[in-house]
Amino acid sequence: MTALTEIREAIEKAQPYYSPLEYFELEEAAEYKSEYHSGKILPMALDSANHNLIVGNLIAPLNFALKKQRDYHLFALGLRLWIPQKQVCTYPDVMLVAGKLEFAEARKDTITNAVMVAEVLSESTADYDRGGKFKLFRTIPTFREYVLIDQYEMHVEQFVKTDDNKWVLSEYDGADAVLRLSCVEFEMRLGDIYDRVDFESESEE
């Protein structure tokens, strides 16, 4: 169990219940971002330099590719995703929406209909991103693609939902491997996703 997980669990046990409205109000005034889990407000870990580099490397060419695919909206590092069935609100690193945006709780900063999410893994969040968070995302009717990007080595995991509701895993390793998204026409070399990422700095930390 990571230190962040222990802190989150301790906070969750000690906290009173917050309504979604209370959470949104508190989050607007908060200095740091937090997730909402069925009445509990849980702090998020701060992102590393490599984390932000990877997100930036991915969204710039993806945003350019989407200029020819007007029915999609791309968001990164800021817009919230509300998961109605589980009463959970989180901040995906990269999020793609197909068609019209659907908002939660009469808001304009929290959507409900993501089709693809990409998360950059850290030591403190990797288990949650692969397990509990993925399980939450799968309750979203529109959700059909999940990309997990390791920030400590060139390794990407891609989960794609098939027509018969099965999730298929593909893994990519090395600079010459090519990630091809399923929900949109887009492909990118891992070498470009990890451009300027300093793995040695992460290992030193």
| 47-204: CATH, from 3.40.50.970, 3.90.1720.10, 3.90.1570.10, 3.40.50.10470 | 3.90.1570.10
Confidence of residue 16 (pLDDT cuts 50, 70, 90): confident
Structure confidence by residue, pLDDT tens digits, 67-88: 887 789 999 978 999 999 999 9
* Contacts of 24-33 spanning 24+ positions with Cβ under 8 A: 24/105, 24/107, 24/110, 27/80, 33/91
Closest CA to 50 of 143, 134, 122: 122
Q: How far is CA 148 from the centre of its chain?
A: 8
Three-class DSSP category at 86: helix
Report yes or no on whether pTM surpasses 0.75.
yes
Confidence of residue 49 (pLDDT cuts 50, 70, 90): very high
Closest CA to 83 of 138, 28, 148: 138
The residues that bridge with 82 in the sheet, in sequence order, are 89
Determine contact, residues 41/29, Cβ cutoff 8 Å. Answer: no
Confidence of residue 8 (pLDDT cuts 50, 70, 90): low
Higher-pLDDT residue of 2 and 108 is 108
Q: What are the sequence ranges of the domains in the chain?
A: 47-204
Mean pLDDT of the chain: 90
Structure confidence by residue, pLDDT tens digits, 178-197: 999 999 999 999 999 999 99
